[in-house]
Amino acid sequence: MNLPIKLSTIPRILLLMGVLGLFLSTINNVNAAEKKHGVFLQFDGLINIHTANLIARGFDKAESENAKLLVLSLNTPGGELEATRQIVSEFLESSVPSVVYVSPQGARAGSAGTFITAAANFAVMAPGTNIGAASPVTITGGDLPDTLGIKITNDAASLIRSIAETRGRNADRLEDMVRLGVANTAGEAVESGIVDFLAEDVEDLLQKLDGRLVKTSEGDYEIRTKDLELDEVTMTTLEKFLQLLANPTLAFFLLILGGIGITMELFAPGMLFGIVLGSIFLILSFLGLGSLPVNWAGVIFIVLAFILFIVEVQVVGFGILGIGAILAFLLGSFLLLMGFLDNSVWQGPLDLNIIPIAVLLIVICGATGFYVYTLVKSAKDKYPQHRVDPITGKQEELKEGLHYLVGRQGYVITVLNPVGVVTIGSESWSARSAKGTSIPKGSAVLVQSVEGAVLYVDTIHSIR
């Protein structure tokens, strides 16, 4: 039996459903608020701009979701100083309590990692780890020049001392790690007041944190880690890819392979194989170099080297452009990899493998030099070093320079009166009438002699 529903009851039903939905939503929000969670980050590698982006994203998530704690599991040999400063600022300015946990066993917080570890509210290490050796070095891992070294070291030392004073750590010991390159084991770091305590794993870490007081940018706070759930934030696929490219050896190889690919396309146009691969390699190289503290003048010199080499193979010459290409390539490589700029100071060794780069430089310069040699030799073989005077019959040694043009036929393209321009093959040359007479445009001429870069010609016949 169907009971009719009065139209007047429909608004009441809708109102009741709305109240019920609001009630359920409130319950869910209360449960979510009561649920304690934190943010967990894990990083293993060199500190660079991509590391800074990952940690910044972790803090953004922690603050927006009112997380109770942020934990960074760290294992690094060091990294770029400016990226380190960005990360330190994130830790010092955050309202969310933070922990840097040097782990797993055998890991290290080397160089830049020392700054980051000291900047957290709680610095914790796993047994069998170490920290320190935070002296600034160059991009190749060597010592900085004297004046620049003093400047950068003082700056880094003052930074780590200010971090230590802010977090209540042993400032003198941390400063020694910057100035003297001192390193400590996990146990020594705890004893000297650099880190707070040791933890076997993350679970042990959370247990030992429970009930501790911490001072954040928003005031004192008591850590409660019981039933705390950690939500992991990882690098995006793009960040992982860019992190892979941020290897100076790989970026340098991609740059060279890209130039070779485009050069090959000019030698054998139409196949598109060289231009496609070359362009891809160059783009990947620039993406990698964009994450590294390189001198971009070096990149320009390397590109110039390839341009000179391309022009060399397209124009008949004596290898001067080829020699210029070698010099530009060597200079560009030096500037690219060895330049000393303030923002290229690293807190720790950069993953730069000199041996394969040196081998590549030797191979490329050797191949280019061999090409220049064969080019000059073929020019000498093709064009005689002596000529027979058609009148006297005597053999004459040709002057060095443009001697191979003597005896070749060309055409006047601007009137010789008595100086003008002639073309021989596909090349244009400054020329002078050998007899001092005017030679009209379009006349066929024969090169009689050469002085400097000027050809002395005489008329064969007029084609006008």
My answer on whether 259 and 232 are in the same domain is: no
| pTM for the model | 0.64
Q: In the prediction, which pLDDT does 133 show?
A: 86
pLDDT value at 344 more than 50: no
* Of the candidate ranges 83-87, 197-201, 374-378, the one whose mean pLDDT is the lowest: 374-378
My answer on whether 176 and 79 are in the same domain is: yes
The end-to-end CA distance of the chain, in Å, is 115
My answer on whether 415 and 327 are in the same domain is: no
My answer on whether 133 and 229 are in the same domain is: yes
The span from the CA of 212 to the CA of 218, in Å, is 16
Q: Is 338 part of any domain?
A: yes
The span from the CA of 165 to the CA of 184, in Å, is 19
Residue 215 in tokens: 């001072």
Q: Is 5 part of any domain?
A: no
Q: Tokens 């070291």 correspond to what residue?
A: 153
Residue 243 in tokens: 């992190």
Chosen domain end from 348, 380, 412? 380
The span from the CA of 196 to the CA of 190, in Å, is 6
Amino acid identity at 133: A
Furthest-apart CA atoms within the chain: distance in Å: 135
282 is in which domain, residue-wise?
247-289+293-380
Average predicted confidence (pLDDT) for the chain:
79
My answer on whether 221 and 318 are in the same domain is: no
Q: Is 4 part of any domain?
A: no
More confident residue, 370 or 43: 43
Mean local confidence (pLDDT), 435-455: 85
Residue 13 in tokens: 């039903």
pLDDT value at 30 more than 70: no
* Whole-number percent of the chain with pLDDT over 90: 34
Q: In the prediction, which pLDDT does 420 show?
A: 85
My answer on whether 162 and 275 are in the same domain is: no
* Beta-carbon-side half-sphere exposure of residue 189 (alpha carbons within 13 Å): 30
Top-confidence range, 6-15, 90-99, 220-229: 90-99
Residue 314 in tokens: 């397209």
The span from the CA of 161 to the CA of 171, in Å, is 5
My answer on whether 218 and 75 are in the same domain is: yes
Q: Is 129 part of any domain?
A: yes
Residue 34 in tokens: 């009561």
CATH of the domain at 77: 3.90.226.10
Peptide bond into 418 cis (omega under 30): yes
My answer on whether 255 and 223 are in the same domain is: no
More confident residue, 320 or 48: 48
CATH of the domain at 399: 2.40.50.140
pLDDT for 89-130, tens place per residue? Answer: 999 999 999 999 999 999 999 989 999 999 999 999 999 999
My answer on whether 93 and 185 are in the same domain is: yes
pLDDT value at 79 more than 90: no
Is residue 378 very low, low, confident or very high in pLDDT (cuts 50, 70, 90)?
Answer: low
Is residue 307 very low, low, confident or very high in pLDDT (cuts 50, 70, 90)?
Answer: confident
Is residue 250 very low, low, confident or very high in pLDDT (cuts 50, 70, 90)?
Answer: confident
Q: Is 63 part of any domain?
A: yes
Residues ≥6 apart with Cβ < 8 Å to 346: 78, 79, 80, 81, 111, 112, 136, 137, 138, 139, 141, 293
My answer on whether 140 and 79 are in the same domain is: yes
Q: Cα 129 from chain centroid? A: 30
pLDDT value at 345 more than 60: no
* Of the candidate ranges 40-54, 65-79, 239-253, the one whose mean pLDDT is the lowest: 239-253
Q: Extract long-range pairs of 230-233: CB within 8 Å, 24+ residues apart.
A: 230/37, 230/38, 230/39, 230/40, 230/69, 230/71, 230/202, 231/37, 231/38, 231/39, 231/40, 231/61, 231/67, 232/39, 232/40, 232/41, 232/42, 233/39, 233/40, 233/41, 233/54, 233/57, 233/58, 233/61
- Which strands sit side by side in the sheet containing 122-125, from one edge to the other? 197-198, 122-125, 98-102, 70-75, 37-44, 229-233
Q: Is 2 part of any domain?
A: no
**DSSP of 68-98:** S-EEEEEEBS-EEHHHHHHHHHHHHH-SS-E
Q: Is 3 part of any domain?
A: no
Q: In the prediction, which pLDDT does 178 show?
A: 92
Chosen domain end from 174, 208, 238? 238
pLDDT value at 375 more than 60: no
Mean local confidence (pLDDT), 151-163: 91
What's the full length of the chain, in residues? 464
Q: How many domains does the chain have?
A: 3
* Whole-number percent of the chain with pLDDT over 70: 70
My answer on whether 46 and 166 are in the same domain is: yes
Chosen domain end from 326, 357, 380? 380
The span from the CA of 118 to the CA of 45, in Å, is 18
The span from the CA of 72 to the CA of 134, in Å, is 19
Q: Is 270 part of any domain?
A: yes
Angle between helices 248-267 and 354-382 (to 10 degrees): 20
Q: Output the CA angle 68-72-76, nearest 5 degrees.
A: 170
Residues ≥6 apart with Cβ < 8 Å to 100: 72, 74, 91, 109, 116, 117, 119, 120, 122, 123, 124
My answer on whether 261 and 233 are in the same domain is: no
